Chain A
Amino acid sequence: MTDARVTGLATLPNGTYDVPERDLAGEVLLEAIDDAGCTLSDVDGLYMPKPRPWTDQGFFTTLLEHQFGLELAESVETYTGGTSGGHAFQHAVGDVRDGSVERAVVLAVERNSTIETDDYLEYILSIFDREFQSPAGPTIPGVYAMSLQRYRYEYDVDREDIASVVVKNRENAAANPDALFDDPVTETDVLESRVVADPLRLYECPAPCDGAAAIVITRGDVADDHDGTGDGVRVGGTGAHHPSSHLLGVRGRSLAAFPAIAGAAERALGDADLGVAELDVLEPYTPFPHTEAMLTEELGLFEHGEGAAACARGQTATDGAIPVSPSGGCIGRGHPPMVTPLLNYAAAVRQIRGESPVVDDVGTVLTTSEHGHIDGVTATVFGGDA
């Protein structure tokens, strides 16, 4: 089996766009191809998270293939909520590694500016158990509010320490030109912002926005031949895990635990033949501050209940022992969930390329994506030796 390398990428700044999704997709497709030093004719695989249900255009990959004259060995659209981009990427990596595809493009596009809040909340009701949960009217912040409550209840976690994760990520985002937010906030700002779902506050919730990204994954031996941007950044390992869980936590387990993270990371690190201690940076998909803290605990970096305090002490800052979300993460960058996994991958690749404005000498990065209430997780490691 050969290895898979990221040889090109493109991201649009998160924000609001008034052109159709197809144009956002076309923009990042062409830019990523250019960044990879290849042509559209070289692409033989297209992998997308299926655009959101409120996207007017259906059969999106088929449209792109026709618009851009692609002839593909494989094209895939996946939809598993927030892990859609993660699964699309991992599917592409698998095909490139096994040789069925030489050069894959993973592409994501999302416009949240086209859906009214009421319609979005009705869509969210549909992802809960339609018979037994939806009629009670839950929301995504509502279930994360309950895991935050349990996390603090079980581990006596300081409320200000939770808010420090937001402060860190907003500060990191201020250095990221693609981020939605460019102004730092204080813990007081966070804890005095309006309540969305007790005890979660507005600044602790990810801001929905529009976005698009594309990543070119090239088979190792093919990447060695081209004369574009070098050999690319190796996809070191992939993994995924989904315990028995649907938005209310894993059956029989505490709601203050997200075992899908540990399971996915263990598989990805095993695939990469790396230990947690060998990671230089984390770029996780953690939309709420307690989930970033809990992720660092699930990975074994800190004791359970200590992740938020570690952030408050600066251990996960860009100059800390293990920088977490140097790109700003979901909270600082803004959050188009179909695109967010690719933004994490792009951040990782740029850091390894030496293009990050806030971290240097990065050789290995662990990224994640998750869906629901961290019911399922993908983990992808970038860098490391073949």
Chain B
Amino acid sequence: MEAASDPFWDALEDDRFLLPSCEDCGEAFFPPSRACPHCHATDIEWLESEGVGTLYAFTRQHRTAPGVPSPNVLGIVELEDGPRLLAQFASEYDDLEIGATVTLQTREYAGTVDRGRLEGRPFFEARLRD
């Protein structure tokens, strides 16, 4: 059986961002699921996303778990395609502001979270768009 998120992680290997999208109601959503969280239809297609959005909220955590940078700059990105997601930021905290245009990018994962079947596969982060 294929995991619901496999197409996302497979595409990320090629620096592409795929978002699940409902064939019934047309809404993109995140994270991947076997049913659309908007209308509960089960026919899901994958949308090629530019990985571009606006910064919805952000913080800088000063005490973090082992294997996580400290401080750790995090934000919620509202993608142009609709869904919001959490991302670590490669940009400086002081440069961030709500509403700024940001882009997702692939990066190697160097933390200590046990990612199970995804061990060794790339993760993603966000940065202010140039």
Interface size on B (CB < 8 Å)? 40
Q: Are B37 and A137 in contact (CB under 8 A)?
A: no
Closest to A198 in B: B60
A188 on the B face (CB < 8 A): no
Q: Does A23 contact B (CB under 8 A)?
A: no
A192 at the interface (CB under 8 A from B): no
Q: Which of A116-134 contact B (CB under 8 A)?
A: 117-118, 121-122, 124-125, 128-134
Out of B5, B59, B66, name the residue touching A142 (CB < 8 Å): B59
Let me know if B46 is at the binding interface, CB within 8 A. Answer: no
Per-residue 0/1 for A142-155: is the Cβ within 8 Å of any B Cβ (1 yes, 0 no)?
Answer: 10011101100100
Shortest beta-carbon distance from A229 to chain B in Å: 45
- Chain B residue numbers with a CB within 8 Å of A150 are 56-57, 98
Q: Could you mark each residue 34-60 of chain B with 1 if its beta carbon is under 8 Å from any beta carbon of chain A, else 0?
A: 000110000000000000000011111
A133 to B123, CA, bound (A): 10
Are B111 and A135 in contact (CB-based, < 8 A)? yes
A129, B75: Cα distance in complex, Å: 15
Find chain B residues with CB under 8 A from A142 CB. 59, 61, 72, 74
Q: Cβ of B59 and Cβ of A137 under 8 Å apart?
A: no
Cβ contact within 8 Å between B31 and A131? yes
Which residues of A are found within 8 Å of B11, using beta-carbon distances? none
A237 at the interface (CB under 8 A from B): no
Q: Find out whether the CB atom of B63 lies under 8 angstroms from the CB atom of A117.
A: yes
Point out the residues of chain B lying under 8 angstroms from A132, CB to CB: 5, 30-31, 85-86
CA A149 to CA B96, docked complex, whole Å: 13
Residues of B contacting A248 in the complex (Cβ-Cβ under 8 angstroms):
76, 84-86
With CB as the reference atom, state the residue of chain B lying closest to A137: B68
- State the Cβ distance, B32 to closest chain A Cβ, in Å: 9
CB distance from A204 to the nearest CB of B (A): 13
Binary contact track B74-85/A, C-beta < 8 Å → 1, others 0: 111000000111
A63 at the binding interface (Cβ < 8 Å): no
Tell me how many residues of A have a C-beta within 8 Å of chain B: 38
Q: Which of A122, A195, A199 contacts B65 (CB 8 A)?
A: A122
Distance from A331 Cβ to chain B, minimum over Cβ atoms (Å) = 18
Chain B residues, CB < 8 A from A146: 57-59, 74-76
What are the residues of chain B within 8 A of A249 when measuring CB–CB? 76, 84
Q: Report if A196 contacts B (CB, 8 A).
A: yes
A136 in the interface, Cβ–Cβ < 8 Å?
yes
Measured CB to CB, the closest approach of chain B to A150, in angstroms, equals 5
| A133 close to B66 (CB less than 8 A) | no
Distance of A146 Cα from B96 Cα, bound (Å): 13
Are A141 and B61 in contact, CB atoms less than 8 angstroms apart?
yes
Measured CB to CB, the closest approach of chain A to B10, in angstroms, equals 13
Query: A122-B65, A137-B72, A147-B57 given as contacts; is B5 within 8 A of A131 (CB)?
Result: yes
* 1/0 contact string of B94-130 vs chain A (CB within 8 Å): 0000100000000001010101101000010100000
Q: Which residue of A lies closest to B85 (CB)?
A: A132
Complex CA gap A129/B87 in Å reads 12
Contacts A/B (CB < 8 Å), 17 sampled: A118-B65, A124-B65, A125-B65, A128-B86, A135-B111, A135-B115, A136-B86, A145-B59, A145-B61, A146-B58, A147-B57, A149-B57, A153-B57, A194-B62, A195-B60, A196-B63, A197-B62
| Given pairs A131-B118, A249-B76, A255-B56, 16 additional interface contacts (CB within 8 A) | A121-B66, A125-B65, A131-B115, A134-B113, A136-B88, A137-B69, A142-B61, A150-B57, A153-B98, A195-B60, A196-B62, A197-B60, A244-B37, A248-B76, A248-B86, A251-B84
What 7 A-B pairs have minimum CB-CB distances, sorted nearest first? Answer: A137-B68, A121-B65, A146-B57, A145-B59, A136-B88, A198-B60, A142-B61
Contact residues of A with B, CB < 8 Å?
117-118, 121-122, 124-125, 128-139, 141-142, 145-147, 149-150, 153, 194-200, 244, 248-249, 251, 255
